[in-house]
Amino acid sequence: MEFHPTSYTLGCVECGKTFSEDDQRLACDELHGPAFLRAHYAARQIAVRGGAAGMFRFGDWLPLRRPVTNSGVPVAFPSEKLGRALGLENLWIVFSGYWPERGAEMKTCTFKELEAPPVCSRFAGGGRTLVVASAGNTARAFAEICSRNDIPLVLVVHEAGLDNLWSTHPFSDAVTLVGVDDGADYFDAIQVADMIARRPGYAAEGGAKNVARRDGMGTALLAAAERAGRIPDHYFQAVGSGTGGIAAWEAAGRLLADGRFGAAKMKLHLAQNHPFTPMTDAWAAGSRALLDVAEDELKARLARVSAVVLSNRKPPYGIKGGVFDALTETGGRMYAVTNEEASTAAALFERLEGIDLDPAAAVAVGALKQAADRKLIDPQEMVLLNVTGGGKKRLFGEFPIHRLAPRVVLKRHEATEETIARLFG
Claim to verify: residue 266 and residue 388 sit in the same structural domain: yes
pLDDT digits (tens, 9 = 90+) for 265-275: 999 999 999 99
Claim to verify: residue 128 and residue 243 sit in the same structural domain: no
pLDDT exceeds cutoff 80 at 2? no
- Phi, psi at 200, each rounded to 5°: -60, 135
pLDDT exceeds cutoff 90 at 71? no
Q: How far apart are CA 367 and CA 347, in angstroms?
A: 14
CATH number of the domain that residue 309 is part of? 3.40.50.1100
In this predicted structure, what is the pLDDT of residue 53?
A: 86
pLDDT confidence band for 17 (50 / 70 / 90): very high
The proportion of the chain whose per-residue pLDDT surpasses 90, expressed as a percent, equals: 91
Tell which residue, 10, 42, 46, 83, has the closest CA to residue 348: 83
In this predicted structure, what is the pLDDT of residue 156?
A: 97
Claim to verify: residue 234 and residue 172 sit in the same structural domain: no
Claim to verify: residue 49 and residue 25 sit in the same structural domain: yes
Task: Provide the CB-side half-sphere exposure for 176 (13 A, CA).
Answer: 15
Judged by DSSP in three states, 330 sits in helix
pLDDT digits (tens, 9 = 90+) for 158-172: 998 999 999 999 999
In this predicted structure, what is the pLDDT of residue 183?
A: 84
Tell me what the mean pLDDT of segment 353-370 comes to: 98
In this predicted structure, what is the pLDDT of residue 391?
A: 98
In this predicted structure, what is the pLDDT of residue 237?
A: 98
Cα–Cα distance list, 156 to 171, 214, 382 (Å) = 16, 20, 39
Claim to verify: residue 177 and residue 232 sit in the same structural domain: no
pLDDT confidence band for 214 (50 / 70 / 90): very high
Q: How far apart are CA 310 and CA 272, in angstroms?
A: 7
127 burial (CB, 10 Å; 0-12 / 13-18 / 19+) is: exposed
- What is the helix, strand, coil percentage profile of the chain, to 5? 40, 20, 40
In this predicted structure, what is the pLDDT of residue 32?
A: 97
Claim to verify: residue 246 and residue 367 sit in the same structural domain: yes
In this predicted structure, what is the pLDDT of residue 3?
A: 87
Claim to verify: residue 344 and residue 230 sit in the same structural domain: yes
Strands (E), 140-259: 153-158, 166-167, 175-181, 202-204, 234-238
Q: Please report the DSSP string for 348-409 in residue order.
A: HHHHHHS--B-HHHHHHHHHHHHHHHTT-S-TTS-EEEEE--B-HHHHHHHS--EEPPPSEE
Claim to verify: residue 370 and residue 406 sit in the same structural domain: no
Claim to verify: residue 330 and residue 252 sit in the same structural domain: yes
pLDDT exceeds cutoff 80 at 181? yes
In this predicted structure, what is the pLDDT of residue 411?
A: 92
* Amino acid occupying residue 44: R
Query: 0.85 cut: is pTM over it?
Result: yes
Claim to verify: residue 156 and residue 231 sit in the same structural domain: no
In this predicted structure, what is the pLDDT of residue 228?
A: 98
Q: How far apart are CA 381 and CA 364, in angstroms?
A: 18
Q: How far apart are CA 75 and CA 384, in angstroms?
A: 12
What's the number of domains the chain is made of? 3
In this predicted structure, what is the pLDDT of residue 135?
A: 85
CATH number of the domain that residue 181 is part of? 3.40.50
- Decide if 66 is inside a domain: no
DSSP character at residue 166: E
Is there a contact between 88 and 124 (Cβ–Cβ < 8 Å)? Answer: no
Q: How far apart are CA 257 and CA 251, in angstroms?
A: 10
pLDDT confidence band for 125 (50 / 70 / 90): confident
Claim to verify: residue 234 and residue 340 sit in the same structural domain: yes
pLDDT confidence band for 425 (50 / 70 / 90): confident
- Decide if 265 is inside a domain: yes
Is there a contact between 241 and 231 (Cβ–Cβ < 8 Å)? Answer: no
- Decide if 3 is inside a domain: no
In this predicted structure, what is the pLDDT of residue 73?
A: 94
Full residue range of the structural domain in which residue 239 is found: 75-108+214-396
In this predicted structure, what is the pLDDT of residue 227?
A: 97
Tell me what the mean pLDDT of segment 66-70 comes to: 93
Claim to verify: residue 388 and residue 406 sit in the same structural domain: no
